[in-house]
Amino acid sequence: MGTIAIIASASGGIEPIFALVYKRTQCLDNEEMYEVNPYFEKLAKENGFYSQGLIDKILKRGSVRELKEIPEKIKKIFVTSHDISPEDHIKMQAAFQKFTDNVVSKTVNFPNSAMKKDVKKGLYFFI
C-alpha cells in the first residue's frame, strides 16, 4: 500500500495485505516506526495472544502462517501477499478484470528466493 493510501486510511485496492507488521523510516528525521495492521492488533489483543515478541516474529518472518501461537481461524483471515502463489495473484487480477472496462493494476509478489524460472512460469501462466 502506498503512502497516500496510508495517509488517507484507504485500502490498496484489490491487493492483499502486504504485511501485518512492517518498519517504516521517516525521511525527515530517519526515525523508525513500526506499523501493525490495526485489525490484526485488535483481534490479537482481544484473543490474548498479542505481545511485542510476537510482533517481532511477524516482522522477521513476514507472515503468521507458521506461528503456533496464533489460532488457525486468525491465520486464515490474515493472509499476506507473500502467502499467495503468483498464479493466484494472476487469477485474482483476471477475476476483477473480467467485470471492468478499465485496466486493473495488480502486483504479483515473489519470494526473495525466486529464480528466473519462477518468474518465467508466472509470466507464461498469465499469457
Give 24-35 pLDDT, tens digit per residue: 888 888 888 888
Mean pLDDT computed over 5-21? 74
pLDDT for 8 equals: 64
Q: What sections of 47-115 are H helices per DSSP? A: 52-61, 72-77, 86-97
What average pLDDT does the structure give for the chain?
84
Cα(30)–Cα(36) distance, integer angstroms: 19
pLDDT for 12 equals: 65
pLDDT in tens, 70-89: 999 999 999 998 898 888 88
DSSP 8-state class, residue 26: -
Phi and psi angles of residue 54, each rounded to the nearest 5 degrees, phi first:
-65, -45
Mean pLDDT computed over 30-44? 91
Task: Find where cell 507472515 sits.
Answer: 63
Q: Is the pLDDT of residue 39 over 90?
A: yes
Which residues 6+ apart lie within 8 Å of 65 measured at CB?
A: 75, 79, 83
Identify whether the C-beta of residue 81 lies closer than 8 Å to the C-beta of residue 109: yes
Beta carbons within 10 angstroms of residue 96's beta carbon: 13
pTM for this one? Answer: 0.71
